[in-house]
Amino acid sequence: MTEILLIRTGQTEQDKLNWLIYSSQEQEIIASGELTNASRLNELSEKAQTREVVVLLPSDQVQLKTVALPTKWNRKLEQALPYMLEEDIACDIDELFIAIGDPTMLDEQHAIKVALTDREWFEGWLALFTEHNLAVYTILPDALLLPTSDNDTLSAIELNNQWLFKKGDWHISAVENSWLGDYLAALGEPNVKHFSPANQFPESINLISQTSDYDLPLALFAKQLTNVKFNLRQGMYQLKKKSALWWGYWKGAAVITGVALVATIAIKLVELNQLNSQVELAKAQVVDKYQKAFPGTKVRPNLIKSQIRGALKTINGESEAGFLDLTTQLVVVFSQVSEFTPETLRYDKRRNELRIRARAKDFQTFGKVKSILEQQGLTVEQGSLNNDGDFVVGEIKLRGAV
């Protein structure tokens, strides 16, 4: 899938959720918004049907650690890992879900990267996604998707009145504005490479502005998805994608569908023949009416459109013919682009310009319409496009010869 739906949860089900649809192929935001709380997740169910869903958890709910090992990582060490972590945590180890990251080295000692989160809290969110028909295969702590910087530099971005930080590739944190000074002092006041305006930082901090990369936090995270291979959805919580096993269960349904498809094609062929007959009848009626309107003229059925246009030019001058020409070429669009609906048409006689305000399903639809019209030799100018709920509204100007 080339489009991704990112959902950033809150700490609780009552907190605000952020969402964003991003096209990895076009490298652009399709839509974004907020949900007041988790009970509104059903509003994203339809948007998730044709997109890959990635869930981001608040970084203050997920702790990343690097655990030193006595030897190279293996399955026996995986079984012993909870006991190795027990002394470093304040709660019962059974209350935590431990997700395994990549093996690494601490100086010359073998180590393993792990992520810890409250098991009951994590399972609560998984149940909510299932309840609202959201098939989530990837879950990550949000700050892990910040760009990786040098070890003496923090990457930072502000989201929902918190600053998210990432140091190296496996140290993340979420800090309230009022704690910034103490947090940075505890880290020895490192350099901060920030991806959103940083006005709350102490003057002693060396700020490195990434102005050219300022973006919505979830958009920045979406761009980094290919650089992060870790996934909290693992082990007993892994959601397996459909494989070839589905064929054994759905073979009967597939056969029935195939038979239905053949029958549908046969019906459509009959309907096509009927439509062709109707077209021929309509063509004959047009020729008959043209001969009555312009007696004595020779009619060429294949050129009837050009003949009518020429006749109108002779009668009314170029102004009306110009409008007819532009609207005739616009009609071609409707047969090729189904979800493009004009709302208003305005014609400028002096400039021979037709302005169309229209509604479409997304930004790409306007681009497709523009391309089709330009292929017909028209000068096309696209105005501003704006999101209007589940639609995009904008203006296109067509200009013919003056």
Which domains can be identified in the chain, with CATH numbers?
A: 3-143+196-237 (3.30.420.380), 248-313 (no CATH), 320-400 (3.30.1360.100)
Three-class SS of 257-326:
HHHHHHHHHHHHHHHHHHHHHHHHHHHHHHHHHHHHHCCCCCCCHHHHHHHHHHHHHHHHCHHHHHHHHH
Encode pLDDT of 370-389 as tens digits: 888 888 888 888 888 888 77
The answer for residues whose C-beta is within 8 angstroms of residue 9's C-beta and 6 or more apart is: 15, 17, 38, 55, 56, 57, 58, 125
Encode pLDDT of 335-367 as tens digits: 778 788 888 878 787 788 888 888 888 888 888
Q: Is residue 56 predicted with pLDDT exceeding 50?
A: yes
pLDDT of residue 275: 73
Quick one: 164 exposed, middle or buried, by C-beta within 10 A (0-12, 13-18, 19+)? buried
pLDDT of residue 369: 84
Lookup: tokens for 225? 């998805």
- Cα 266 to Cα 248, 255, 256, distances in angstroms: 29, 17, 16
pLDDT (average), residues 266-285: 73
Contact by Cβ (8 Å): 155, 169: no
Most confident of 291-295, 321-325, 381-385: 381-385
Contact by Cβ (8 Å): 324, 372: no
Helix (H, G, I), strand (E, B) or coil at 132: coil
Q: Is residue 294 predicted with pLDDT exceeding 70?
A: no
Average pLDDT, the chain: 86
pLDDT of residue 70: 93
pLDDT of residue 297: 65
Amino acid in position 278: Q
pLDDT of residue 183: 96
pLDDT (average), residues 274-301: 65
Encode pLDDT of 76-91 as tens digits: 999 999 999 988 888 8
Q: Is residue 248 predicted with pLDDT exceeding 50?
A: no
Of residues 241 and 382, which shows the higher confidence score? 382
Encode pLDDT of 190-212 as tens digits: 999 999 999 999 999 999 999 98
pLDDT of residue 251: 52
pLDDT (average), residues 302-331: 62
Encode pLDDT of 183-195 as tens digits: 999 999 999 999 9
